[in-house]
Each structure stands twice: as structure tokens, then as C-alpha cells.
Chain A
Amino acid sequence: MISLWHFLAIGAVLFSLGLIGFLTRRNFITMFLCAELMLQGVVINLLAFGRYHGTLQGQVFGLFIITVAACEAGLAMAFFLVLYKRAKTLDSSDWQDTREHGLAATLDLEPLKQPVVEEAPTLPVAGLVPEQPEVMMEEPSRV
């Protein structure tokens, strides 16, 4: 029998995963996804209680939150796009400009390992051996 507690457990797990993700990841888009995850954990809670009480209020409220979250997503994506255009990076720790005046920037103890990005395979000119893709370095951090 699936009781209220199961629902709530799922919600809590989603929320916690989102929370941990939000705190540990530095990519804006990932952070945003984690925030959505937290939001959905909360929505599951609402649905669970709605079902528990046998009313539709929880579901309506859930729909409402999903709508708001969609708007929020559109807005957030627009922000990220602008930020990316300005600095060609999505690393949230590159944006520390709103810190207290005169305070030193927080830097990584050791430089991050840059991820290896494989170039998407392209069709070779007919009759030639495909070239090995080179390892590309991203631009260094702004900070």
C-alpha cells in the first residue's frame, strides 16, 4: 500500500538531491536544473497532501507552480544567455562582482581540470583518412 509517507519521501529525496546539486555544481544551467528539481520535490508534497485530503486544491496549486516555474525558466535562460555572451563562460564563480568593496575575490585552491571536449565527427573529404580530433582548451577563467 502506497501511503502518504512514500510520496513525502520521494518529495524529500528530490528536494535534497536538488539542494545538493545546487550547492555543489557551478554551471549555471545545472544549478538551474537543480533548483527546478527542488521545486518539483515541493510540488510532489503538495500533490500528496491534496490526495491525502481528497481535494483538488493540491493539484491545482501544483499546476500553478509548474506554470510559474516555466516562466522562471524562460527568464533564467535569458539571463544565462546574456551572461554567456558577455564572458563566454557559464561558471557561476566567475561572477563575483557584487561582493563587498575591497574584498579579495574567492579563487579556487587549485585550477579546475578543464573538461575534454570531443569535436563532433564530420564527414571527411572523400578519399582521405579522417583526422584525429585535437584536444581543445577552453578559455581560461576570468577570475
Chain B
Amino acid sequence: MFDLQSPLGLSIIALLLPLLGSLLAALCGGFAPLRKLAHLPVILSFAAAATIAIFVLLQVSHGKETLFLTADLGTWFSVGRLSVPISLHLDPISAIMLAMVTFIATLIAIFSASYMRGDSGYARFFGVMGLFVFSMCLLVMANNIFLLIAGWEGVGLCSYLLVGYYYAKPSAAAAARKAFLVTRLGDVGLILGVFLLWQMGGYHTNIDQLTNHILHHPPSDAALTTALLCLFCGAIGKSAQFPLYVWLPDAMEGPTPVSALIHAATMVTAGVYLLARMSPLFALSPMAQIIVSCIGGITAILAAFIALAQYDLKRVLAYSTVSQLGFMFMALGCGGAIAPSIAVTAAIFHLFTHAFFKALLFLGSGSVMHAMGNVIDVRKFGGLRKVMPITHITFLIGSLALAGFPLLSGFWSKDQIIHALSDAGKSRSIYAMQYFGLFIVACVTALMTAFYTFRVYFLTFWGEEKIPHEAHGHAHESPRAMTYPLIVLAIGAFAVGLVVDPLTHWFGHFVDRAPVLHEADHAYEKASNMAVGSHSFSIEIAAISTVLALAGIGLAAVLYRKGGPEKVPALIQPLFAMSANKLYVDEVYSATIVKPAEVLANGGRQFDGFLDSLARLICYVPRLLAGVLKPLQNGLVQFYALGMILGLAVFLTVVVFRATRTLP
């Protein structure tokens, strides 16, 4: 079948380990004495999976030829023309994703073993977490589109379970429901898109065969664009893009490590990964690309604007995730105007670095929350840099990376995206104007990102020391099990961007070995008659993003270094209120979608009641008739006998009269 020691075999082991850990943790939940140890199987299996995945990554990372290994492990199901083999694959993108997901999940698991200690659902938490990581790895490694959907839905289910972890709390239950339903809205599009592609792709379900078939037998432009936009709907839901991003900020109701997991490594990156995987097809449809980019741009600037005036530390980070995902989609959409390989590499690179610093920031905010007695409102605490030195330093590194401070990881990846956008804006594509507009949007967003990140940073760690009374007077640095993952992630956030790309160019070269990118470049060359350029570092772009980051940080430092209450000039008061109220998006959705649906549902209920009463009316007729006849059955033998005699008499009378009438 396949060699277990080959890179693919090893990564399949890495895929299955989290599932094993999850099952063991769930079993631990069944035995009270083992319940406190439920974190062990999960942490160990994650760590083993991460080790294997990194080993595989190192093993396959040298060489020049394309890398694509695939294995069929049998058939999942087969119905008519639809045959779904359990087909897994390994290419540079999935190898990087697998290593990143398992590595970050390991750190988050270690952190949460301490963070969640003593919670009543300890085993449940770790069981679901293992399943979550398994689903994400399955999604990443699936070569079959339906297997990918299985992972996709598994991730959705686990996010529902984890966001609704404190299910007794109504707001958490509502947030879980919202997350599930909103992403489900996008999934409808995903399923439609998959079936459209399946039909166009010669009824293949393996992604490589399907892509190949479509590249060699291109369907009509409109049909392909429709199918791709349907797929993109799924990505919009899962990766929290513009119309459907509302679930992600609410998902903060879950425990903080869950937020870190959802925002950094799993779940929200699924949409980006899906589009990267489908990039050869997107290369055929410039219109789909520009729509992807525009949605990304709208999301990025909208979320950044909302993040400006939020007081909830985790909520600011959530909106920053939405905004950064918008960046990734902007980059992915550039494939219509510049070489798709450059666009996709930029997006995946940002995804990779973002995973590190976003996990770091979330775990840091979890550490703050832990010390402050679950208070997360930045107005209620301040000046924590003396109280929590390690959290402070690591949070600062994460913030710098997110803001795009030079030489930190976020700087390099954001720079690649802005560079891609500016190249696209200068290209001969018919959408060059739009791409140039998006370039401006990206710059403004980068400035806003730096500002809001440092706004909450200064409010939390600077100014005079202020500790809420919920902390019960013993605010302290978190235990080592929580600070060590922070330190590891901080090192990653600091150096990973620098090491893997600008210094060694390892990342770019490695990702370039993915056959999907070759196919995408090929399709792009055919479609646009333009040669694929090569990616280069541009000093002007770097200068622009450095200036933007420094300006944002400087502005935040001027306004918030002293901490204290918000001072909003009267001039921008309305803007501030709009941002603080999240642009009233939830209210608009409630008025335009939720309320009419409620009215409709109520109408339906009334109508249902009407139908019920109609049925009851029909039931009443036999009962009424029975009421007339009921007294006849009085239990008296003589009465029955009398009835029989009378019946007999009537019968005989009729017989006799008939007989006499027929007589001559």
C-alpha cells in the first residue's frame, strides 16, 4: 500500500495521533480518578505529531523537483458516478500547514493544561481539542475534495463544541450557535461549488485529477467563475470574511486557548488553504480573483476600523484576526494580475507567521485574564508590566509582529502582500485600477492595525497600575506551564519570518515546489499571455510599511502611553461611536435578516396552529356522533335483547312485506 517510513506515511501517522489522543482523553473522562490527567494523552500525541511533522518537513525540504505524494487508503463510499476514495497527499503547502498546526496546537495544549486546571469539563475540553486538531490535519492532508469537506465540517463541529464549552452560560450557547449557523451558510455555497466542479472536472473527486481535467477541458468562463465563487462562499464563512465575519468576535465566549486555536492554527485558515489549493482554477478566472481580493480588502479595513474603539482585549484581537485574514484573501486574489505562485506564497507566508503571533497574543491575553480574575475589559486594568513581566515582553513582541514592525515576522509577510498588491496595481490586467485601490486599502489597514494593537497594549501594560477587585489582590505572573509556551511562541513570532524567508529564501523556494502553483502559473501564462515574473524584495514597499507601522505605534504611544480614560476629540466622536458599536453590523443583520425570519417563523407557527385546530374540528365530528349513540350501550342485558328483538322485527316485517308484494 504505502511505506510507513516514507514522508507520506509519517505524516499519516502524524495525522492519526491527535485522533488517538482525543479518544484517550475522552476515555479518561469516563473514570473519575483519571479525569485530571486528560491533558496528558492530548499533549503527548500533539507533541509526537508535531515532532513527526517537523521531521517530515525537514526531510522533504531539500531538493528542486516538485513534491507531490499521494496515497489511496481504500474507498470511503461510492454512489453511482460519485466515488470517494480516502486519498491523502503531501505537498509543500500541506507539509508546512501540518507542521504549523501540530506545533502551535502542542503549545496551546500545554498552556491550556494549566489554564483550564480544575474545570469540571477538563476531559471534554481536551477530547474535543484533539478532535479539532485531527479534523484540521485531515482537511490539510485530504487529496479528495469530499474528504476535505469532512475535515472542514469536523472543524466546524469542534468549534461549535469549544465555543459553547461553558454551555450553561446563555451568551456562550448563543455564540456557539451563531458560529455554527453562520459558517453553515457559507458551507451551502461550498457544497454547491464542489458539485459544480465535480461535474466540470469529469466526475473526478480527487483534487489533483479534477484540477487537471478542468485545465485540459476548460469549461465556459461563466460556469467556472460561478463554481469558484461558490467555493469562495465556503471560505467566506469559515475564514470570517465580510458578510459572514460576525461569528468570529462572538466566538470569544469560549475559553481563551480555544480562541487561540481557532484564530491561529485551525479553522479560520481553512478558507485560505482551500483557495490556495484551488489556485490553478482561480488562475483561469480573473473575475473570481478580483472578487476575492475585494472581499478581502473590505473585510480588512472594516474589521480594522471596528477594532479601533473596542475595550475588550480579546475582541480587539478577534477583529485583528478578521482583518489579517482579509489581507490573506487580498493576496490570494492578486493571482489574476501577477503570477499566482507569488500571490499564494505571500498569503500562505502570512498565514504561517500570523499563526505564531496570533497564538502568542491570544495566549498572552489569556494569561492576563487568568491573573485579573477573568476580567478582560482594558478599562478595568492597566500598568501590568511590573506585575506580569514575562507576559508583558511576549505580548509586546506579538504586538510588534502584528503591527508589522521591521524585522519581526509580521513585517516580512505583510510586506509580501503589499508588494503583491502594488505589483498587481501596476500590471496590465483589466482590474489594475481595482488592485491599486486595494493597495491603498492595505496600507491604510496596516496603519490602523499598528494603532489599535498598540492602543490595547498601552492600555493594558502602561500607565498607572490598576488591578480590578475580581483579581482578589493576588494578581501575579502566570505559572510556568503558561509562560513557557508564550516564550516559545514569542521566539517564533520574533524570528520565524526572518529565518524562513528573507535570510534563507527557504519558504518561497519550498512552497514553489508545490505542483498546484506550477499548474496555476501555467494556467495564468496561458490565460494572460504574460510571463511569470519573480518575486523580489522592494525597498520602497518595505519603507512604506515601516513608516506606516511606526506611525501607528507612535500615534498609539502619544495617546495611550499614560493609560487612563479615553480622550476622544469631539470632531471624531461619531466615528468613534460607530467603531465602538461595531458599525452596527449586528444590529443591521438583526433588523434585516433575523427579525423578518422571526416574523416568518411566527406566521408559520400561527398557520400551524390553524391547521391543528382544523384537524381537531374534523376529529370532533365522529365524537359528536358517538355522543348521540353512546347511551345505547348501557350494560343492561335486557336492553340489548330488546334491541335484537326490535331489529329482528324490523327485518321480518321487511321480508314479509317484500314476500307478499312479489306474490301474484
List A residues at the B interface (Cβ < 8 Å). 19, 22-23, 26, 31, 92-93, 95-100, 103, 105-106
Contacts and interface: CB of A to CB of B under 8 A. Distances in A.
B630 A100 contact: yes
B659 interface: no
Contact of A99 (B634, B638, B642, B645): B634
B635 interface: yes
B631 A100 contact: yes
Contacts of B638: 22-23, 26, 92-93
Given A96-B636, A100-B631, A106-B636, 8 more contacts: A23-B638, A92-B638, A93-B638, A95-B637, A97-B635, A99-B633, A100-B634, A100-B635
Contacts of B631: 100, 103
Nearest to B626: A100
Nearest to A24: B638
B342 to A, nearest CB: 85
7 contacts: A22-B638, A23-B638, A31-B637, A93-B638, A96-B635, A97-B635, A106-B636
A95 B633 CA distance: 13
A121 B637 CA distance: 37
Interface in B290-321: none
Interface string B487-515: 00000000000000000000000000000
B641 A103 contact: no
Contacts, number: 40
Interface of A, secondary structure class, is loop
Interface of B, secondary structure class, is helix
A98 to B, nearest CB: 5
Contacts of B641: 22-23
Contacts of B636: 92-93, 96, 99, 106
A62 B637 CA distance: 27
B190 to A, nearest CB: 59
Given A93-B636, A96-B635, A97-B635, A103 B630 contact: yes
A100 to B, nearest CB: 5
A90 to B, nearest CB: 12
A115 B633 CA distance: 30
Contact of B633 (A22, A23, A100, A105): A100
Contacts of B639: 106
Contacts of A23: 638, 641-642, 645
A23 B646 CA distance: 12
Contact of A96 (B630, B634, B645): B634
Contact of A92 (B630, B637, B645): B637
Given A100-B630, A103-B630, A95 B645 contact: no
Contacts of B635: 95-100, 105-106
Contacts of A92: 636-638
Contacts of A31: 637
A15 to B, nearest CB: 11
Interface string B56-92: 0000000000000000000000000000000000000
A39 B88 CA distance: 90
A100 B635 CA distance: 8
Nearest to B632: A100
Nearest to B634: A99
A132 B631 CA distance: 48
B16 to A, nearest CB: 65
A103 B634 contact: yes
Contacts of A22: 638, 641
Contacts of A96: 634-636
A101 to B, nearest CB: 9
A83 B241 CA distance: 84
Interface in B623-663: 630-631, 633-639, 641-642, 645
A43 B495 CA distance: 117
Chain A CB within 10 A, most for which of B633, B635, B641: B635
Interface in B554-582: none
A23 B642 CA distance: 7
Nearest 10 interchain pairs by C-beta: A99-B635, A96-B635, A100-B633, A99-B634, A98-B635, A100-B630, A92-B637, A106-B634, A23-B638, A106-B636
